[in-house]
Structure 1
């Protein structure tokens, strides 16, 4: 395995972990959005299903609007956080790949300047390790993609929780 091959393998590993991180980030983002949508619909259903004292249709409408505003605020915060996480993943991957290319060019210059032949033995020693690391990175990326596919196809079960009204307590009269 040549020096360029080791650098190529290292770059491939960084790219695979970067893709896995972005995939998991997107899957988590979709899950949070789904939870917020589910909470919003359950709130509306629960509010409409019950007749609450002193709560008319206008107040119910205002409560639903307030809940929409709150869910929108939370969703915007989540989207901002995940956008920044994607940017961080890109930055880390870019810097890691830049470092790999820098090391690769430095090793090539040193090898050609000093006619070092021992680096071939080092490359041969680390070739199986690099191959194994590349295979692990591929499996991690595949696992992240399958997790994202699984989360994307999960059908939400709409389970209604029956709330039993507690009997009102009466204050004991003292005679």
Structure 2
């Protein structure tokens, strides 16, 4: 399988619809996104989606949503008293140069038949490189927060240097880390160039 990972600043209804279909197999109903919610978030920040596409079928096989939240919304999520689908568009911010940006990973999911191939790791690596590029351009990335809704996700977060903060009131674990620059391999320059061309 040839995998293509990218961010799109164009709101693609078909891609977002496929993400919602993936949610149905990966999450309990209370954690599944809707087109209305995802589109409203996208309107506030069009860099929130990272898609993984099977190049041969042109289907979404996995995706990640990375939100920049207001400080108030970030603290509410960190307290574990609410789920991310309750976040309205007023809680979402664009990435703003010179401002401290508090990042929340709202979702990361991979189709069942594509799991076990390291796709979620590739998506997260790509998203981290995107955050690195933001920092290079004067956008301050303060912390990254997540809500691990099952043991598999919690283990994955801990392996990526997230720290457990609190058990939420909806039976999940809130995790957090300071964003650190990725370690790049010898192809760093080419990867960075390709990435930045995608998000400019």
Q: Scaled by the length of structure 1, what TM-score is found?
A: 0.21
- Larger Rg over CA atoms: 1
Q: Which has the higher helix share?
A: 1
Higher relative contact order (CA 8 A, sep 6+): 1
Q: Scaled by the length of structure 2, what TM-score is found?
A: 0.19
